[in-house]
Amino acid sequence: MRKFLLPVAFAALLFQSSCVTTDREVGTSNNADQLFTPKPEAARSRMTSRTVLRTVQAQHAFSDPRAKDNFVLLLQGTKVAEANARFLIISAQGDTLRNEVMPATALIDERAMQEDPQAGSVRAKEIAILQGMNKFFAEDKFTAPAIPKKTTSAPEGADPEGWQAVREDNRAVGFDYVDASGREKRIAFAKKLNKAVVVAE
């Protein structure tokens, strides 16, 4: 008799534990009275040109020496090699100071690619783009003051009014990066104008 009762008791214990689990799941479910059914494949979210594949962030003094701004680089698209890179600077107060889009291929270090015998492959481009993202906010990309005092005139491509406002500010911080055209530029925050401006290109 004992041999028969032991399996029955064990089965009852298993049944109770499964009921407890089910009760817990129902308690946290949004539709406790309905059976879960997965969404049809056509209704599931799909990758688009706005899908974020990767995000790189850094905090650095820029618009206010007392509070660091958030520098963000988003890789958006369906494939790394064909994606866009969205560069954002968001102040500590949540204001967007910069919102610029460039092809992800602008992040590739061409000199490094020339040394790679497989540089033309899609995989090599993807790796180079991801490496470029990692280095985008490197500390040596930031310069203070943004414009050296010995510089007396705005270079070609700079915003003259913004350049002058930044030059007068010894605490202005410059950030260097490569834009969509593949040219390196420096931006800084002009306090007088309350905006980020190009001071060198």
Tokens, residue 39 = 């969404």
Highest-pLDDT range among 2-16, 26-40, 180-194: 180-194
- Opening angle at CA 131, ends 126 and 133, nearest 5: 100
**Mean confidence (pLDDT) of the chain:** 81
**pLDDT value at position 122?**
86
Q: Can you give the pLDDT at residue 119?
A: 63
Whether the pLDDT of residue 156 is over 90: the answer is no
Mean pLDDT of 181-194: 92
Q: Mean pLDDT throughout 30-48?
A: 57
Q: With cut-offs at 50, 70 and 90, classify the pLDDT of residue 172.
A: very high
Structure tokens at 47: 């990758």
Cα separation values, 15 from 9, 89, 96, 128, Å: 10, 56, 56, 55
User: Higher-confidence residue: 48 or 98?
Assistant: 98
| pLDDT tens, residue by residue, 41-97 | 445 567 888 899 999 999 999 999 899 999 999 999 999 999 999 999 999 999 999
Which residues make Cβ contacts (< 8 Å) with residue 29, sequence separation at least 6?
A: 36
pLDDT above 90 coverage of the chain, percent: 55
